[in-house]
Structure 1
Amino acid sequence: MLRVIAACGNGMGSSQLIKMKIEKTLKKLNISAKVDHMSVGEAKSVGENYDVIFCPKHLMSNFSCIDNNRTKIIGLINLMSEKEIEEKIKEYLMRL
């Protein structure tokens, strides 16, 4: 099962919306996953326990502290774009 974080600045509105879009896309692709949403600060502290972290592109640099070969940080330009999320998930899966 894929473990995913949807992160935003405060871990409230945007991350919840990203989470819903990610869950919808994963279901469409028939991928089993657990998706959590949280603030960037919280995600930095637990991120190494996840496979993928989605966040706004401009917040990606906050995750330089995650230094492992497992956790992939994915920056989104348009947080509401299911198409972009699907493309990013497919790119991630192709690299596995």
Structure 2
Amino acid sequence: MRVLVSCANGSGTSLMMMRTAQKALEGLGFEITNIHHCSISEGKNTARNYDVVYTPTTFTDMFKDAAARGVEVIGIKNPMSAKEIAEATEKSSLPERFLNK
């Protein structure tokens, strides 16, 4: 699964959220083939190349075009919460699409 983590500037928060998302996804049994963190401006332009975008809830509207193309966009309130990321992922279409259950 190709994962993009995007926040305002693409430095501190997105790096920490990327590590948290990786931990949560691996804990759920997802195989990550590519994971990248970046700023919102870069993310808007590259999101279509990923299967899922994790971003703070305040930025989910920035990824409407990617969502329209089938990219799962997941808004996160607490970027450091592996539990929140795991729960949001479980409620999404990702388990059905990427896990053999």
The TM-score normalised by the length of structure 1 is 0.89
User: What is the RMSD computed on CA atoms of the aligned residues?
Assistant: 1.3
Q: Which runs of 4+ in 1 moved over 6 A?
A: none
Runs of 5+ consecutive residues of structure 2 not aligned to the other structure: none
Report matched runs for 1:1-96 at 5 Å. 2-33=1-32, 34-66=34-66, 67-68=68-69, 70-92=70-92, 93-94=94-95, 96=97
Q: Normalised by the size of structure 2, how large is the TM-score? A: 0.85
- Cα distance change, pair 51–21 in 1 and its aligned pair in 2 (3 A): same
Runs of 5+ unmatched residues, structure 1: none
What code does the residue aligned with 2:11 have?
A: M
Deviates more, 1:57-66 or 1:76-85: 57-66
Q: What SS does the corresponding residue of 2:73 show, helix, strand or coil?
A: strand
Query: How many angstroms apart in 1 are the aligned matches of 2:95 and 2:11?
Result: 30
Which structure shows the higher helix fraction?
A: 2
